[in-house]
Amino acid sequence: MIKNVFCGLAISCCVPALLAKSANVDFFCKANDDKDLPSLILNLEWASRVLPGVPPEEWRYLQAESEAASNLQVDPTVSNPTELARRRWAQLENRPLYYVWRVKRALGRNRADLNNIITPPFPLFPESPDATRLNSAVDAMSSASEYRDELHSFLRRNDLAAVKIDLGNADFLLEFRAGQVQFFLNRYVKCKLHKLMDRVK
């Protein structure tokens, strides 16, 4: 069962070198294993502290309005939904903490996905914990990419000073560490895949 599930993933990842058992692969994967996952979460927790806080009431407002604007775009009962949604998005974007909220929302998703690798919410593949972790890691790769993209866009906005957001010299380190999370997960997935495919030969 595991072999059928992951053969396609092996091809799509284009990692034929990793699928061959070798001492080099084993050495490479020792630095990209489960034991290193908590350090990624600490990385994100540091970023959350460095980024400006979003008060709970503002978070709830931004969440509700964002969902409302998204739903408005596909509401068949509303005339000219695209224009109404555009205006609603514009109002959201004018709020000082809107883009911070987007970054921290993406960060939270990535942190939750990383936690799911460490402690899976349910055993998707009971016969193979590594397969379950690999499945969660694919989700974490997606949310890590979203977090890095949101952070990149936020840090390049030219109105941070106008909304009184000052990150000091942390902007470079924020982006660097976001890239580290992506880089680790890319290797982690390849190593888990190598381990699984070697096991089911």
Tell me the pLDDT tens digit for each residue of 158-168: 667 666 677 77
Distance CA 9, CA 63 (A): 34
Instruction: Provide the pLDDT for residue 9.
Output: 46
Could you report the per-residue pLDDT of 59-93, keeping only the tens digit for each? Answer: 999 999 999 888 887 777 777 878 888 888 899 99
Helices (H), 14-55: 23-30, 37-50
Q: 10 Å Cβ neighbour count for 168? A: 7
Average pLDDT of the residues in 126-155: 93
pTM beyond 0.85: the answer is no
Distance CA 180, CA 94 (A): 31
Distance CA 135, CA 68 (A): 31
Distance CA 57, CA 108 (A): 17
**Identity of the amino acid at 108:** G
Q: Specify whether the CB–CB gap between 197 and 3 falls below 8 A.
A: yes
For residue 12, is pLDDT > 90?
A: no
The C-alpha angle with vertex 169 and arms to 174 and 106, in degrees rounded to 5, equals: 25
Distance CA 103, CA 53 (A): 11
Instruction: Provide the pLDDT for residue 46.
Output: 95
Nearest to 178 by CA among 140, 145, 142: 145
Nearest to 102 by CA among 141, 138, 66, 74: 66
Cα–Cα distances (Å) from 34 to 1, 13, 40, 63, 140, in that order, read 23, 20, 11, 33, 14
Cα–Cα distances (Å) from 51 to 10, 103, 123, 156, in that order, read 37, 9, 34, 14
The residues, ordered by sequence, that sit 6+ positions from 12 with a Cβ below 8 Å of its Cβ are none
